[in-house]
Amino acid sequence: MADSAIRLRLRGTTPLNLDSKGRFALPTKYRDTINDCCDGQLVMTVDPAGRCLLIYPEPVFEQIEDAILDAPNATEDMRKLERTVLGCAESIKLDSASRLLVSPYLRQTGQLDKKMILTGQGNKFELWNEENWNEYMQSQVIPEMSDAIRQIKI
């Protein structure tokens, strides 16, 4: 893989249902992008902030993995990051019905039940328990924008 960063345009929020086997269907609007960039090969792991799961196209995750492995791990924070992001990472693949399987461990860690939210975040997805997502979104009123946000000109 080249050293240049892979840039995708995964955006939008979609309510999803987890079936009794722990699978969910990837929304149609993302399927071509995921199949084109990584042949349906993804990596699911725990968000270091602990509120959701992260789903990366495999080549994107490999760049993150390399950055983590190349960083000095002398600090407890770096070791925690390694344990959380790399230690909980699982390779997953879209099945013939464009579904993804969430392992029992990641379902428990992500507090996932039947109702979930998938949100595109550029080069990755976040997979949330619907109730946790709604609570998070209600808490995200930005009373005063920082200079960094103002410079984006949203």
- The rounded Cα 110 to chain-centroid distance in angstroms is 11
pLDDT digits (tens, 9 = 90+) for 57-84: 999 999 999 999 888 877 888 888 999 9
pLDDT for position 154 = 53
R_g of the chain, CA atoms, integer Å: 16
pLDDT at 1: 40
What is the pLDDT, as a whole number, of residue 143?
Answer: 61
Q: Which CATH number fits domain 10-152: 3.50.50.60, 3.40.50.300, 3.40.1550.20, 1.10.3720.10?
A: 3.40.1550.20
Q: If you write DSSP's letter for every residue of 20-37 in order, what string do you get?
A: TTSEEEPPHHHHHHHHHH
- CA nearest neighbour of 40 among 1, 110, 93: 93
pTM: 0.87
Any idea where the domains of the chain sit in the sequence? 10-152
